[in-house]
Amino acid sequence: SYVLTQPPSVSVAPGKTARITCGGNNIGSKSVHWYQQKPGQAPVLVIYYDSDRPSGIPERFSGSNSGNTATLTISRVEAGDEADYYCQVWDSSSDQGVFGGGTKLTVL
Amino acid sequence: EVQLVESGGGLVQPGGSLRLSCAASGFTVSSNYMSWVRQAPGKGLEWVSVIYSGGSTYYADSVKGRFTISRDNSKNTLYLQMNSLRAEDTAVYYCARTNVLRYFDWVPLFDYWGQGTLVTVSS
């Protein structure tokens, strides 16, 4: 089955830019979705199809995908962005959803 | 307004069974794809199962043969029947509406989630 690899943690100072990566074999040929999960809450979709934002998600959230790495970028990071972030694809060969292991974003 | 409300979680002994429910409002379950996603304590998200609008069902390898996803169209409710439960099945179980926004790039995503229900498998 397809495997997605994320760094366990990323730290960033307020106002700076955070980049969270999601690695996978030729992931650039797939479409990737990203979710934010704050403690005690259900996940929320923040980026879909690599770089699209659902309504209500700030423009500070953006995404890209090329080669073996997809990236979620959060500009001008705020304290409220502190959360776990997960990438997700769909393995169409087995009709199974696949999540990355998650990355904890800490705002210093 | 789309809402998903899970219920049915609780404490069960290893080898036991449990049925989770997910009551939906604001949309029709049978016209959509629906999934179950779980999260073990302190761990990441794990996709569990999907039921397509046409009725086809698929499962993660970790639950295949033990879990069954189904729906009751008259009640607009999604279910997950869990049998032969193991300690490693302990998790918060979320139901999620599973949407495909681009049929030329068919990659389902989870656009609405319930609040989750906790299943604890322990003796």
Largest Cα–Cα distance of chain B, in whole Å?
48
Residues of A (35-74) whose Cβ lies below 8 Å from B: 35, 37, 42-45, 48-49, 54
Are A97 and B37 within 8 A, CB to CB?
A: yes
What are A25-63's pLDDT values in tens digits? 999 999 999 999 999 999 999 999 999 999 999 999 999
What are B16-38's pLDDT values in tens digits? 999 999 999 999 999 999 999 99
Contacts of B108 in chain A (CB under 8 A): 90, 97
Closest CA to A24 of A94, A88, A103, A83: A88
What are A67-108's pLDDT values in tens digits? 999 999 999 999 999 999 999 999 989 999 999 999 999 999
Instruction: Among B61, B108, B113, select the one facing A43 at the smallest CB separation.
Output: B113
Q: A94 to chain B: nearest residue by CA?
A: B58
